[in-house]
Structure 1
Amino acid sequence: MDEVLLRSLTPGVLAVLVRRGADFAAAEDAVQEALVEAVRGWPAGMPRDPRGWLITVAWRKFLDGARAEAARRRREDLVEEQPQAGPAPSVDDTLQLYFLCAHPSLTPSSAVALTLRAVGGLTTRQIARAYLVPEATMAQRISRAKRTVAGVRLDRPGDVATVLRVLYLVFNEGYSGDVDLAAEAIRLTRQLAASIDHPEVAGLLALMLLHYARRAARTAPDGSLVPLAEQDRGRWDTGMIAEGVAILQSALARDRLGEFQAQAAVAALHADAPTAGETDWVQIVEWYDELVRLTDNPVVRLNRAVAVGEADGPRAGLAALAGLDAALPRYTAVAAYLHERDGDPVTAARLYAEAAHKAADLAERDHLTRQAARLNAGRGR
């Protein structure tokens, strides 16, 4: 059984049922029943039109369930009104499904879970494992999300920016267990890029590819974090970098700059440097200036302070940091790094230890703890 094929067909099939008027939750249940029949029957012989077969079976499953309810007459009238021949293009259907799963009435975590379930075709168990939560907890989250969008009509243009934020959240979750969420986010963003011609969709895809290309070098054999400046650049995926840069250049040529294109430009400059010492920090600061103009995001300003510290020296970086809220995530770690660069190991060690205490991620906490220990050991000698 070709699981990849089934997962790729699932969102389009689900979207057809929703477009025909099926309630989202009922449509999703019907599609799952059709997938079960496919798993059972396709090994003996795959149909000539797998997608059409799934739509037919899922629609039949939905109608069987609808007839068992009080709304049977309304559902049967709806069936008579809907075309039973070839469905609309899957690209349009899937795009609508993206917008539905990223509906503004959903919380970010619910939107991510529903996107992985409905568009990504992942099982509830796979999503739960990726998020390290019990399957029952994830099932409840997805059920609530489905109920929330049950009455939403797909008759107005969706918000591309919301869809992109959801996909970026998926990417930043990384991976755990048998589901690589970063790779899944790339797959879904490729699918979206094939569905809609938008420079920010291309920008997000480029950003994901450029970051993912460095993945193999990000951790040491013992699982510890390897900072960007210390990574073995020979382990970076040059093919993926080249693809990301090409996609970014095409998007930037359209002169409709957005947040994800600017972030991708920063990532591309890091990828283009043969060594950490050859990084074009001046140009990176310029791109962060663009990001500040586009978003006025305090996290962007924090990253800009690091870049300023590299381009103009640690004192300049600390000056840029001074105007920011010390409660920002990674603020203390950035301050520690800049103080170390400025030749103040005592303050840097104290701040590294403080940052380690605040870190939510275990790998980051261990890295910061080692940085503090390294400086303290140096003072001891």
Structure 2
Amino acid sequence: MNRPLRVPGAGDAAPIALVRMRRVATGLLVAMAVLFLFARTQAGVHPAWGYVQAFAEAAMVGGLADWFAVTALFRHPLGLPIPHTAIVPRNKDRIGDQLGSFLRTNFLIPAVVARRMQRIDVAAALGRWLAEPAGAASATRLRYGASRLAADMLESLDQERLGGMVRGALSNQLRDLDVSPLIGQALEAAIADGRHVPLLDGIVRWAAKVLEANEHLVRAMVHERSGSIMRWTGLDETLANKIIGGLNKLIHDMAEDPAHPLRAKAEEGLASLAHDLQHDPDTQAKVATFKAELLDNPALGDWWQGIWERMRGGMLRMVRDPDTLLAGKLGEALAALGTTLQGDPLLARTINRFARRAAVGAASDYGDAIVRLVSDTIRGWDVATITMRLENAVGRDLQYIRINGTLVGGSVGLVLHAVEGAL
């Protein structure tokens, strides 16, 4: 079951300005109620109190009516399920649909996008951004604004979902890639250039370390397989020493002699492997099976997730510090490109035309998808959270409606009382 999406930060407490205005509006309503009660007690003292009572009474009516209207936008007044109240929560989905339709009608029409893009010089803006020296005091707002925008976009994206998309894309590419011929060609080229020699040297050194670390296993194996007479005479220990010494000498000779017969055999084996990887179907099938098992291994998924997190962290560090990003040789190349963009009208027109066509094409191809995204996103938002956020955004102005309603209502009551007295 899908749960409504809670908007980050939307559930925070109401702003201080909203709380203050709400108290002012409520305090004014309470003051009118107190004034009304007091004026009733003074009704026979002086005719002026009648005007005060009429003003306070009408002010209470106006204030209560506007309180009801303002409250009904976001919730049921006093918690009572009165019809046509809690308008925003009840109509959240319809608001999302109308907002998406508004965007589609007024902003995502290809003609509108093309007209707006004609007034934007993308090439000049990009050229100034690239050509500006790192750390210059002038015109840095665009660079840091773009950096903040890029950082906000990276941080707002769902890390798990985006990381999964990256992993899925890499996995699909690797599954479709026939790696056997590539490995075979790389190995064949390495053998032809002699770049396989360090690999053989490394294998020899590794074998020496393995033998040194496992001499006790060789001695134990010889001891277990020897007869009782060999054990009683100590010949098993002598035999183990001979075996270990012979292996050590063989490894030492292989390390010292590049033309050692076993090294030659190893080179022949590598060459045969390189050939089989490129031409033997059975070898290629084994590599494909191993590749599939490796890609299905959860450990590889965790490793890729770590790689993605480091990549994402590196991108965030770069976009947060554009001066560092544009320093060194990369900065010099980008600055030269920026200068060219500003001084080459033909190139600038080409880039602007491309940007305009890309924007128009995006509006035409993805306008409906963007509308659905807006609508579906709002549908998935948590009702209480969005209600709180909207109220925090516009609630301060709505409290002015309550105040104005109280004062206007009182003024109308005062006029009616005066007219009544004149008649």
Is the pair's TM-score, using the shorter chain for normalization, greater than 0.5?
Answer: no
- Write 1 or 2 for the structure with the bigger share of helix: 2
- Taking structure 1 as the reference length, the TM-score comes to 0.19
Give the number of the structure with larger relative contact order, counting CA–CA contacts within 8 Å between residues 6 or more apart. Answer: 2
- Taking structure 2 as the reference length, the TM-score comes to 0.18
Structure whose CA Rg is larger: 2
